[in-house]
Structure 1
Amino acid sequence: MATTETAGSSRVSGAAMLLGGALSNQVGAATAALAFPVLGPAGVVAVRQWVAAVVLLAAGRPRLRTFTAAQWRPVLALAAVFATMNLALYSAIDRLGLGLAMTLEFLGPLALALAGSRRRTDLACALLAAAAVGVLTRPEPSTDYVGIGLALLAAGCWAGYILLNRTVGRRLPGVQGSAAAAGASGLVYLPVGIFVFLHHPLSAGALGAAVLAGVLSSAVPFLVDLLALRRVPPRFFGAFMSVQPVLAALVGLVVLGQRPDALAWVAMGVIVAVNAVAVLRRG
């Protein structure tokens, strides 16, 4: 009985950690949006990549000199995908708003979960998700197709990020590969950040918001996820992460005053439900 109670308590604490990490991620994205008028998405992403590099390099302590060519190839590919994903996502948030951009980006892991399945339930999930995307991107005078394209690019990058992380995890121990990829991505953004800072008037508030966004969206979720995965099963972790789009819309509403219409809320709810079903079935 004691063991069962301990396991139950561990799962509750794990779920609380996941909720806190997901909320931190979305508050970080909203904080980043506050710095867009001064630094632009590229400047904010540069700062975020630097924060992620510092945190992951400190946590992973990769032995870079021992990496072979077969290990460096997926690490550098992961760095490129990581850098592209964040720039595309933040640019999409700047144009579409937090809730819609995060929901469209979420199609990446959802497509990965449904890929190759011939089960009727999964096919029905795919059709429902496609219908929800149709609602979210329906043509209107205010529809921003560039923003939608950027969000879908971020979705594709997220799917690639997941696949490359698996490869890197098989070839390198611990989080050494992810840490090296974060470091390489941070180096790529050094000239980008310098260019932005030279051509934009810096303010302490904007720079502080960008740094805080990096901490909330990179450092906190990374550490929380590591701790939570020790307490909850992987499929529960995947299903719980499905709430991210809804949290993004709620944070966008509270922090940024962004108000999705009723149909958009329904569509986001459908995508969240579809992803949860897909992850649990695969589990």
Structure 2
Amino acid sequence: MALAEAPGSFGLPRGFSQRLRTLSLGSVPPPALILLGIISVQVGAGMAKHLFDRLSPTSAVTLRLVTSAIVLGFVARKALRNVLRDHSRRSLATAGAFGLTLAVMNFSIYQSFARIPLGVAVTIEFLGPLAVALAASRRFRDVAWALLAGTGMVLLAGGGDDLDMVGVAFALLAGVCWAAYILIGAATAKRFSGTSGLALASVVGSILILPIGISSGGTQLIDPELLLIGLGVGLLSSVIPYSLEVEALRRMSARVFGILMSLEPAVAALVGVALLGEVLSVRQWAAIGCVIIACAGATLGDRRQPPPPGA
């Protein structure tokens, strides 16, 4: 019996093969892309935390930064060939500062992951972008969002949950760096086209963290199995979410993007439960909820462009 349509590629009906070819990121709803990107980042963080039994947090973040820099450098290789010739010293210094921010931010959050639950660390870190949004605001109601976020921090700090204060301090430092990432990343995006600015910053960040990682991990950093896991962490934490967010930003507003990104602490907490067995208390979940609502509320009336993705 003959097929209703002439065979296409691989012997499939032509209409079916054409439909397969049309399936792409462009056919996925933008909110789904953002959610997938958030899940990718946090699963990557969970995988990295699993490495802490075999590698120090410093060595794990070194693997993450180096592998993501290699992938991003390969993607932007044509633009990077003439980067020194095509850009001023000031532009290169901006990208260098962006790379330093990336290195310190990732180093700090990995040190925090090693000491406190994943969801708690990401919640505290989220105070960075929230502070940037509130600092630029001229609306009185944003005071309420700031107070709500402060309530969340009080719940975390005063809950009697025996949180490691060093881990909390590292998460706060990561939040400061995230705020700097938004500001310096915006300046970098204006001076470099495409992914070249992020790729250059990733290379700089990797070079800065590499000596510390080598001194901490030694020959473990060339273990094939650990290198493969590090590659997976780099892809999940940087390359995949960056690609998804860029596609989503083409088709959605800055406000919706910011509101959806506010879900990240909750996703981090769920990944912590699912992958790491980090069961949180009711007080900690309430604190996470306060920060999520504060971030969403502060973003709701913010009509500025969102920060460049990919941190």
- Normalised to the residue count of structure 2, the TM-score between the two structures is 0.83
Segments of 4+ moved more than 6 angstroms: none
Asked if 1:41 is matched to 2:60, the reply is no
- Percent identity reads 36
Q: One-letter code of the match for 1:42?
A: T
- Which ranges in structure 2 are unaligned for 5 or more consecutive residues? 1-25, 304-311
Structure 1 or 2: more helix by fraction: 1
Correspondence for 1:121 among 128, 138, 141:
141
Asked if 1:65 is matched to 2:84, the reply is yes
In 2: Cα distance, 1:79 partner to 1:103 partner:
23
Superimposed CA distance per residue, residues 74-94 of structure 1 (whole angstroms, 9 cap, x where no aligned partner):
111111110000010011011
> Secondary structure of the residue that 2:259 maps to in structure 1?
helix
Deviation at 1:200, TM superposition (A): 5.1
Q: Relative to 1, partners in 2 of residues 1:199 and 1:141: Cα closer, same or farther, differing over 3 Å? A: farther
- Normalised to the residue count of structure 1, the TM-score between the two structures is 0.91
Superimposed CA distance per residue, residues 140-194 of structure 1 (whole angstroms, 9 cap, x where no aligned partner):
3723111111000000000000000111122222232221111111122332333
Q: One-letter code of the match for 1:267?
A: A
- 2:10 matched residue in structure 1: none
Superimposed CA distance per residue, residues 6-37 of structure 1 (whole angstroms, 9 cap, x where no aligned partner):
xxxx7961111111111010000000000012
Task: Report if the CA contact (8 A) 2:63-2:221 is conserved.
Answer: no
- 1:248 matched residue in structure 2: 268
In 2: Cα distance, 1:247 partner to 1:46 partner:
24
Asked if 1:213 is matched to 2:233, the reply is yes
Q: One-letter code of the match for 2:278?
A: Q
Q: How does 1:220-259 map to 2 (within 5 A)?
A: 220-259=240-279
Asked if 1:88 is matched to 2:108, the reply is yes
- Which ranges in structure 1 are unaligned for 5 or more consecutive residues? 1-9
Deviation at 1:199, TM superposition (A): 6.3
- 2:22 matched residue in structure 1: none
Q: One-letter code of the match for 1:73?
A: A
In 1: Cα distance, 2:230 partner to 2:53 partner:
12
> Secondary structure of the residue that 2:252 maps to in structure 1?
coil
Correspondence for 1:264 among 268, 280, 284:
284
> Secondary structure of the residue that 1:65 maps to in structure 2?
helix
Asked if 1:100 is matched to 2:120, the reply is yes
Task: Report if the CA contact (8 A) 1:55-1:219 is conserved.
Answer: yes
> Secondary structure of the residue that 1:198 maps to in structure 2?
helix
In 2: Cα distance, 1:43 partner to 1:219 partner:
20
Q: One-letter code of the match for 1:43?
A: S
Task: Report if the CA contact (8 A) 2:262-2:292 is conserved.
Answer: yes
In 1: Cα distance, 2:250 partner to 2:232 partner:
27
In 2: Cα distance, 1:117 partner to 1:16 partner:
28
Task: Report if the CA contact (8 A) 1:28-1:212 is conserved.
Answer: yes
In 2: Cα distance, 1:259 partner to 1:203 partner:
32
Question: Which structure is larger by alpha-carbon Rg, 1 or 2?
Answer: 2
> Secondary structure of the residue that 1:174 maps to in structure 2?
coil
> Secondary structure of the residue that 2:262 maps to in structure 1?
helix
Which structure is richer in relative contact order (CA contacts within 8 A, separation 6 or more)?
1
Correspondence for 1:22 among 22, 38, 42:
38
Q: Bigger CA drift: 200-209 or 145-154?
A: 200-209
Q: One-letter code of the match for 1:31?
A: M
In 2: Cα distance, 1:230 partner to 1:68 partner:
29
Q: Relative to 1, partners in 2 of residues 1:141 and 1:192: Cα closer, same or farther, differing over 3 Å? A: same
Task: Report if the CA contact (8 A) 2:220-2:226 is conserved.
Answer: no
In 2: Cα distance, 1:95 partner to 1:238 partner:
28
> Secondary structure of the residue that 2:230 maps to in structure 1?
helix
Task: Report if the CA contact (8 A) 2:214-2:221 is conserved.
Answer: no
Asked if 1:138 is matched to 2:158, the reply is yes
